[in-house]
Amino acid sequence: MHWSRVPEATFVPGIRLLLALYSLLGRSAFRLALWPVVLWYALARPAARRASLDYLTRLAGVCEGAPRPRFRTVLRHFAAFAESLLDKLLVWGGRLDALRYEVHGAAALRDALAAGRGAVLITAHIGNFELCQVLATRYTAVRINVLMHTANTARFNAMLERRQLADRLCLIPVDGISLSTAALLAGRVDAGELVAIAGDRLLTGAAGDFQQARFLGAPAVFPIGPYVLAGALGCPLIALFATRHGEMYRISVEQLAERVVLPRKGRAEALRALLERFAALLEAECRAAPLQWFNFYPFWSPPGGG
């Protein structure tokens, strides 16, 4: 099953209740109240449970000291995801002061923007990408345009939009990058803005939209869209991850290319080199924060497979 066909599981009243509990009694009470919800989710969503166990098993196979792949660990994996939703709401609600974080590599982003043009940020469904707002408001003072598929997260995205206080983060719903979307983004990059896109989910399963890279010990498919977009815009490509380590978030910034060039001859090789470097960075993040990667679908299955 393609990830975009996974039905949304957001229960808005429940999220609001847990958020109110956090506001009244703090994070410890929130975490305690999560466990019945997490257990229900694990039992009610067998596909997500199997995907989590598959990921944890693959991680344990390549990473000494990784959590043992068993049902208890799957519950911890789901609990980490639920807590990341809380942190997303805090970020979008302007409550960055409720989170502790440290930034590594911010100079790479500032240097890339020094010429007055923008850049493409490539990220993943790991940790809490919404902390990119930290970079937008406190480090770069530019707007970040986030490309995202919204069809199966409509209710949760509606909650985010109602809570958003800042104007530095702009969500752009997409099912694919059309000519009109590319023209819009080109104008924004020329104006010095940032464009963020996930590098670990295919917008479509169409042939030519992806390449394979080794990830956690086996070939997996990754979209080529972020690299094609950066090449078309003629701008820097920068990897950005924000993962929780204990009570602290670590925001990591690394430049993949000062300017993405995809020559007609050798285009596939140039794409593969960028993609493999991103996959290696993502694997390193998974090794360092093993319960923080949140792709609960058959990631290693061929596009369109079950």
Domain boundaries, the chain: 7-288
Contact 253, 209 (CB under 8 A): no
Name the pLDDT band for 161 (thresholds 50, 70, 90): low
Name the pLDDT band for 231 (thresholds 50, 70, 90): very high
What confidence tens digit (pLDDT) does each residue in 129-155 have?
A: 878 766 666 666 788 888 876 554 555
pLDDT at position 35 is: 87
Locate 119 and state its tokens: 């850049």
Whether the model clears a pTM of 0.75, i.e. scores above it, the answer is yes
Q: Is the pLDDT reported for residue 182 higher than 60? A: yes
Measured CA to CA in angstroms, residue 215 lies from 64, 203, 209, 219, 276 at distances of 16, 19, 18, 6, 9
pLDDT at position 152 is: 47
pLDDT at position 148 is: 77
Residues 16, 17, 18, 21: what is their CA dihedral angle, to the nearest 10 degrees?
120
Instruction: Name beta bridge partners: 125.
Output: none
Q: Classify 217 in phi/psi space as left (phi over 0), alpha (psi -120 to 50) or beta.
A: left
Close Cβ partners of 270 (under 8 Å, ≥ 6 residues apart) = 261, 262, 263
What's the average model confidence in pLDDT over 90-116?
81
Q: Is the pLDDT reported for residue 157 higher than 60? A: no
pLDDT at position 112 is: 81
Distance CA 227, CA 271 (A): 7
pLDDT at position 242 is: 93
Average pLDDT, the chain: 82
What's the average model confidence in pLDDT over 178-182?
74
Measured CA to CA in angstroms, residue 238 lies from 20, 118, 171, 211, 255 at distances of 36, 11, 19, 19, 4
* DSSP labels, 145-160: EEEE--GGGHHHHHHH
pLDDT at position 139 is: 65
Contact 161, 137 (CB under 8 A): no
Q: Is the pLDDT reported for residue 20 higher than 50? A: yes
Name the pLDDT band for 119 (thresholds 50, 70, 90): very high
Name the pLDDT band for 86 (thresholds 50, 70, 90): confident
> Which residue would you say has higher pLDDT here, 272 or 1?
272
pLDDT at position 272 is: 94
What share of the chain in percent tops pLDDT 90?
A: 42
What fold characterizes domain 7-288?
Glycerol-3-phosphate (1)-acyltransferase (3.40.1130)
Name the pLDDT band for 199 (thresholds 50, 70, 90): very high
Q: Is the pLDDT reported for residue 10 higher than 60? A: no
Question: How many of the other CB atoms lie within 10 Å of CB of 49?
Answer: 19
